[in-house]
Amino acid sequence: MAHEKKKFYITTPIYYVNDQPHIGHAYTTVAADVLARWHRLDGDDVFFLTGTDEHGAKVAESAKKAGLDPKAFADQNSEKFRATFQRLNLSFDHFIRTTDSSHERQVGAFLAKLKDNGALYEGEYRGLYCTGCETFVTEKELVGGKCPIHKTVPSVITEQNYFFRLQDYLAEVERRIREKEIRIEPESRLQETLGLFKQGLEDFSVSREKVTWGIPFPFDPKQTVYVWVEALQNYITAIGYSDDRSRFTAWWPHVMHLMAKDILKFHTVYWPALLLAAGEEPPKRIFLHGFFTVNGEKMSKSLGNVIDPNRLIDQFGDDGARYLLLSQFPFGEDGDIQEGRFVEKYNADLANGFGNLASRVLAMVHKFSGGEVPVADGVSPEVAEQTTSTRAAVDDALAHCAFERAFQSIARLIAFGDGVIDREKPWQLAKTDPERLKQVLFDLLAIVANVTVLHHPFLPKATAALATALGFGELTREVPPLPPGRSLATLMPLFPRLGEMKK
């Protein structure tokens, strides 16, 4: 059945440039890349957006500490994010920066809409602000008088601000969430969101009077746009919200926002409300994954346990780093990343698992079949059944962002392939039953071909090398045929085994 070409627009949070890129940022962006590549394999039209969040008090303070002007500081750090993401082989179609002039201009247009639609009013904000979170906080959100995330005492501020009439939109946002017009996943995050409506939410400021590092507020040049309000808009300015309406209307209905649960309220409540107020549709799908610790502790500069993705890439390669990040614990749940287990996991799953099967099969084809795809009457029924069921399982897992389930299914197919080799012993068949040998080698090639396609979104570099060795063109979801007689190239080890392996 021909697959209908669809659009898929996937976003990640835009990351604050006060920080260096770490594996928390890499985690979400690798996950988004997997979804983007999976949809591209399917023939879908994909737009994958990531980028950096550059304005606000937090970035301005860090720039000052670094002795740089905020824009120069943002330039420097934004580039580190982009370079790191490129090294991770992330296939983003656009890297947005909130200091881009097109973003700044379109934010002005969005705010004008809010104002025209009567969604803004002037008022005074007297209260608390946590610069670490870049958010207004209430007494009841504090623990021992401190922000529970940053463990800092929030500042007390009094500012003349423009406020957003959140109250006017809450009922409609809640209705759309309950009726799944806005799908919030996983279920635990949906419940958390519904809890927020019950608790009650206050109107919030869309402008800041005393923050100068920001987009000038269109209706009062003494103020700047509140950083979260413009940051959220990156998702629409990147696709031409007011600059290119036809592009915007083509992509926006197909958006999926991906992030961790730390920024739930902004995405599941504030953002849909702002969009409704501006006369736009809210996002259709929001997936909030868990938050991880490193060796049991929150990653922080002061603890010195921040892992730079570049360090992982140096040690394990880009595919290895991607795999290790996503394979630690189920996506969607909270978890712990234990760096000490990386080598063992890499060796077990990639070197001894996938890499070894691919090398063994190609080596046997070279040894016993002159490097050519053997003549066989299609794959045997048992192998066809295994590959078909694995494909269905991986499809289902990826539709639910259950990467660990996808890994398990692929690993089972690899183990099945290893089992075929152990059982059939091709080196003996070479002497005793050459016809059977052809069938076995053909089956094994079919297994490797299927693993190549299924692993492609996770391990794009190794699977591309394998696809070349198998003589495949550009990969799609349909596993390409292996015509008998085709000469196969030899294969360099995909995942060289690393030291420190258990004896």
**Catalytic positions, written as ranges:** 22, 25, 130, 133, 147, 150, 298, 301
Q: Residue 371, exposed/middle/buried by CB under 10 A (0-12, 13-18, 19+)?
A: middle
Half-sphere exposure of 379 (CA within 13 A, CB side): 21
Q: Which residues pair with 8 in a beta bridge?
A: 46
Evaluate the CA torsion angle 273, 256, 318, 413 in order and state its sign.
Answer: positive
Binding residues among 48-107 for ligand MSP as defined by CB under 6 A: 53
Residue of the chain from 74, 184, 229, 263 that contacts ligand MSP (CB under 6 A)? 263
Minimum CB separation of residue 477 from ligand MSP in Å reads: 27
Nearer to ligand MSP, 31 or 373 (CB): 31
Q: Does 15 bind ligand MSP (CB under 6 A)?
A: yes
Q: How far is the CB of 30 from ligand MSP (least distance, A)?
A: 11
Q: Which stretch binds ligand MSP (CB under 6 A): 151-159, 239-247, 258-266, 478-486?
A: 258-266
* 108, burial (CB in 10 Å: exposed 0-12, middle 13-18, buried 19+): middle
The binder of ligand MSP chosen from 45, 262, 281, 395 (CB under 6 A): 262
Residue whose C-beta lies closest to ligand MSP: 24
N-term to C-term CA, the chain = 50
CB-side neighbour CA atoms (13 Å) of 405:
15
Q: How far is the CB of 279 from ligand MSP (least distance, A)?
A: 20
Q: Tell me how far CA of residue 223 lies from CA of 134, 206, 278, 341, in angstroms.
A: 16, 10, 21, 49
Report if residue 416 touches ligand MSP, rule: CB under 6 A. no
Question: Is residue 329 a contact residue for ligand MSP (CB under 6 A)?
Answer: no
Binding mask 285-324 for ligand MSP (x = CB under 6 A): ------xx------x-------------------------
Kindly tell me which of 53 and 174 has the beta carbon lying closer to ligand MSP.
53
Please tell me whether residue 14 binds ligand MSP under the rule CB under 6 A: yes
Q: Going by C-beta distance under 8 Å and a sequence separation of 6 or more, which residues neighbour residue 215?
A: 55, 98, 104, 107, 108, 224, 225, 230
Contact 77, 52 (CB under 8 A): yes
Given candidates 8, 9, 21, 27, which one binds ligand MSP under the rule CB under 6 A? Answer: 27
- Least distance from C-beta 13 to ligand MSP, angstroms? 4
Q: Which spans of this chain sit near ligand MSP (rule: CB under 6 A)?
A: 13-16, 19, 24-25, 27-28, 53, 231-232, 234, 259-260, 262-263, 291-292, 299
